[in-house]
Amino acid sequence: MRLRVVILAVATVLASTVLSTTAAALSRERFANAQPYGFFFNDYGPNFYAGFVPREQDRRRITIHLGRGNQLRVRIVLSDAAIDAYIPDQVARHALYAELISRGVIRLTTNKAWEAYDERFAAEGFAALAARKGGASPGEWRELNLRLLQKLLPERVYHIRRDFDRLLDDWRTRLAAGGPPTTLEAKLDAVNDLFPHRMSVTGLDAGDDAALQEVAALARGGDAAAFRSRAQALFERLTGGIYPIIDDNLDFWEVTAIYAAGTHDTLTTYAGHQIPVITTQGVWPLIPRRHGKGFLGMVDYISSAGYYGLKPMLPYEYGGGIAYNAIHNTGISNWIAGHPLLPREWSRFAGGSRDGKPYRRVALTSRGPVSHGCTRLNDGHLAELREMLPSTSEGMEGILNYRHVSQCYDVFDPRGDGDDRVMGVQYYIAFRHTDSRVMEQIWAQNDRRSFYEWLYGPEMVFGPVNEVVIKEACEGKFVGRKAYAGKIRRNLKIYEAPYEPEAVQMYTIVGVDPYSQAGMDFNRELRRIGYGYTIDRKVLRLD
């Protein structure tokens, strides 16, 4: 995707800007760390997700965040419907895959992700658990679903519980200590301070503004009961009621997934250190693709260009002509044998290979400057992201994509315990490729320390996993649609999310060209299984 817009205000925000394509860090060294990363395969073709993430059909509960460090964070506040449907959804998806395979509609190729998924599905007793629904109380059924979610998604599913009265009392103290907020920026700072990182309000209408002014006045001189009543009403109004308050406590379940991300092939200089540039900064909702090649009019557009892997491209900015900026896959794959940059050991890697032979290709994203303007994810991570989003294109429209200014970090507390961290991920690969999509140079060696010294530079104090410290972290914020540099946070540790294995199974649709409309529709429909959505069995060639 071609960059459409000039990056507004970068020159005034950053110390200086360097649009360099020949940075000194670039090297033609071979990656030395032999640990396999990415998605290994042989040839492009249809594929399905073979993992256990939940689906959330309510787009208001989903946000996407891209920040300094080149990682994309997906946050989902799970609805009661999504929790209660977790086991049935997994059973329905497994059953559909099994039926397509057994009836010969699809033929599995290349890898054995399906077998690994099927084995884990059986080991966890999904079918027996689903059969318990009729005899279990609502509370027991909910607990069954949550217990399995936590087990299958370790370090990604958290039960967030906060004393809401305490939050309000603390907020009242802070409001009372300051003067009445007058600018939009000050007002947004004030409201988001009620529940930091989980309130991302970027605008206020007249009613919101009036309610905030009333609450601020009550904080300075009104009685506590009136303040709490008005403040709770404002909180529920601004958050859309997605956070339940039970016995005076905020009580909800949340999914946090963090993936390595590739950004625009440009560097800028901040505090004397070159860092990757984030383009299309600000708040950008997902939009349907209405221009271009192929079959249009939807958010989960699938490109006919092979290197996009027949996986969805999730657009957020129209760039003119047929161009969009979107979240998509790696956009590049590497022939492994004889590759001058990949670890030599990868040429012998055959883990999960269907024929037992080493794979011919690997698709891996560059966690650094690599794209023409889009946001790139590893192929398996993109498949997983799509699985978590609403089933339909209409359901995905408007999901908010928060994109920080280049020097500002995504600061968050995944466990909801107030332990604010700079977001990161345990993935240490960054490279550039040619216009013909051949990886030709690396930004840093792929061991953790070398990579972090390139990515974070002198702002970092190195340490063990989850103990790396950023000495001065700019926390980003948003006003309206625009991204701004927020306050400086000192000595924040990096939360280093584990790298998630990429659970994708390759297949062919028997008798169907995957690039035809029938093939594309099949591919798209197979990614839509979820509560509240009825699968079109005709599209999947089952009726």
> Tell me: the pLDDT tens digits for 205-252?
999 999 999 999 999 987 899 999 999 999 999 999 999 999 999 999
Residue given tokens 């320390």 in the structure block: 449
**Predicted local distance difference test score (pLDDT) of residue 430:** 97
Beta carbons within 8 Å of 44's beta carbon, 6+ residues apart: 306, 307, 309, 310, 333
Residue 21 has pLDDT above 60, yes or no: no
Per-residue confidence (pLDDT) for residue 25, from 0 to 100: 77
Stretch 432-456: mean pLDDT, rounded?
94
Q: Hunting for tokens 């939940």 — which residue is that?
A: 54
Token pair recorded at residue 456? 């974070």
Output the pLDDT for position 437: 87
Average pLDDT over residues 306-329: 94
pLDDT at position 86, please? 98
Distances (CA, A) of 347 to 67, 85, 361, 499: 33, 42, 9, 21
Determine the average pLDDT of the residues in 337-354: 97
43-83 per-position pLDDT tens digit: 999 999 999 999 999 999 999 999 999 999 999 999 999 99
**Neighbour-count burial of 421, counting CB atoms closer than 10 A to its CB (0-12 exposed, 13-18 middle, 19+ buried):** buried
How distant, in Å, are the alpha carbons of 70, 193, 259, 474, 481 from that of 404? 11, 18, 16, 10, 11
**Locate tokens 């859309």: which residue?**
240
List of residues 6+ apart from 440 with CB closer than 8 A: 28, 341, 431, 432, 433, 434
Q: Note the pLDDT tens digit of each residue in 28-44.
A: 999 999 999 999 999 99
Give me the chain's average pLDDT, please.
93
Q: What share of the chain is helix, strand, coil (3-state, %, to 5)?
A: 30, 25, 45
Q: Can you give the pTM of this predicted structure?
A: 0.94
Q: What is the pLDDT of residue 473?
A: 97
* Measured distance CA(33)–CA(341) in Å, rounded: 11
Q: What is the pLDDT of residue 152?
A: 98
pLDDT at residue number 150? 97
Average pLDDT (152-164) is 97
pLDDT confidence of 8, banded at 50, 70, 90?
very low
Nearest CA-CA partner of 58 in 76, 72, 73, 75:
76
Q: Are strands 323-328 and 460-461 parallel, antiparallel or unpaired?
A: unpaired
Cβ contacts of residue 211 below 8 Å, gap of 6+? 230, 233, 234, 237
What pLDDT was estimated at residue 12? 31
Over the range 205-217, which residues count as b (16 or more CB within 10 Å of their CB) and which as e? eeebeebbebbbe
